[in-house]
Amino acid sequence: MEKQAQASRPSHGWLAFFSLIYVVLLVMFASALGLTLTVGTPNRVADTATTPANLKRITAAANRTVLLTANRAGIVYAPTTSLVPPAVVKQLVTTGVKAAGDFQHQLDVAPLQRAVTHRLTQANAAQHVSADATVRAAVAQAVRQRLARSVNTDLMRDGWGAAYPMIVLVLQTATIVSGILGLLVVVLMRLSSHGWRRWLRVTGRLTYACGFLGGIAAIVLGQPSVLRGFHIGGLPPAVFVSVLQQFSPTWQRVAGITVVVGLVLALVADVLRPPALLTRPEAPSTSAEHDQA
């Protein structure tokens, strides 16, 4: 028995070592997978960013920029004037997110410029703007230039449009690499455990423990008070917080699946427990037997 205990010590040490690596890779894989399914998927980001509430925020921010630009160019419109159509903004946001995911940093802003210019003309007539044609043309030109600079320079080239494609690439790479390395470490854990039951028990417990902690982290990250500390250039902070908050349920599902997988592995290990062997106790040796020996 003592020799068996001494022989099993190295395997216990290797199992503990590979278990630590497994925990790190599991956290990396689950986190990267959850982010890839949400932040790293342009269609999901576009759909979430263009919900009615977020679209209203984006349109309001763009409308304030247009009003301020027109004011500086020479015409003051009423603060409640709506110069940016939401439908065009929605189409531009959807196109911009998908283009940024493909490393494209230039968008066609002509439809937005035409729509805003048309609304400027309507506002001039409705509010009886007294400016002459030269000033009106200068205002329209300034607004078009400001829209092009805000979209293609501030947002796509220097803002989130520059960071987003790298985020997508990093998340996809982290998911693939951590998944492959995790499988390799799981195999090494199996070899160092010298038994299916020990391997399943250790792997299962580590997996559902990480899943529980990940679920708590996903819930915490879904709180607006925590997300307010994050922002990305060119995007209204309220929109960024709303997008991440709506992604929190997906992160919780990933953590829940991790917990279920871990519990199943631990349950299988318990099922594989060998039955207790009934051994007949040895009869105590008598003094006569010792004498005969």
Supply the angle between the helices 2-37 and 196-221 in degrees, to the nearest 10: 30
pLDDT at 2: 43
- 68 and 146 co-located in one domain: yes
Are residue 182 and residue 251 in the same domain, yes or no?
yes
- Measured CA to CA, the distance from residue 31 to residue 173 in angstroms comes to 12
Out of 126, 158, 190, a domain closes at: 158
Structural domain range at position 95: 62-158
Integer Cα distance of 29 and 36 in angstroms: 10
- Residue 138 and residue 78 share a domain: yes
User: Has residue 6 been placed in a domain?
Assistant: yes
Kindly state whether residues 138 and 212 are assigned to the same domain.
no
Determine, yes or no, domain membership for 146: yes
What tokens appear for 95 in the block? 């196109």
The answer to whether position 283 is within a domain reads no
Distance of alpha carbon 285 from alpha carbon 39, whole angstroms = 74
Residues 220 and 263 in one domain: yes
Domain match, 252 and 200 both: yes
Task: Summarize the confidence of residues 24-47 as an average pLDDT.
Answer: 94
Residue 43 belongs to a domain = no
* Average pLDDT value over all residues in the chain: 86
Which is it for the CA torsion 9, 11, 13, 16, positive or negative? negative
Cα Rg, the chain, nearest whole Å:
32
pLDDT at 177: 97
Q: Is 234 among the domain residues? A: yes
Asked if 199 and 231 sit in the same domain, the reply is yes
Rounded to whole angstroms, the Cα distance separating 233 from 246 reads: 20
What is the predicted pLDDT for the residue at 286? 52
Percent of the chain clearing pLDDT 70 (strictly above):
87
- Banded pLDDT at 9 (limits 50, 70, 90): low
Whether 194 and 241 share a structural domain: yes
Does the pLDDT value for residue 4 go beyond 60? no
* 33 found inside a domain: yes
- Are 90 and 113 members of one domain? yes
Tell me whether residue 277 is in a domain: no
Which has the closest alpha carbon to 160: 226, 234, 223, 67?
234
| Count of domains forming the chain | 2
Domain boundary among 139, 158, 177: 158
pTM as predicted: 0.80
What is the per-residue pLDDT across 227-275, written as a single tens digit (0 to 9) for each?
776 666 667 778 888 888 899 999 999 999 999 999 999 999 888 776 6
| pLDDT tens digits for range 110-153 | 999 999 999 999 999 898 888 888 998 999 999 999 999 999 99
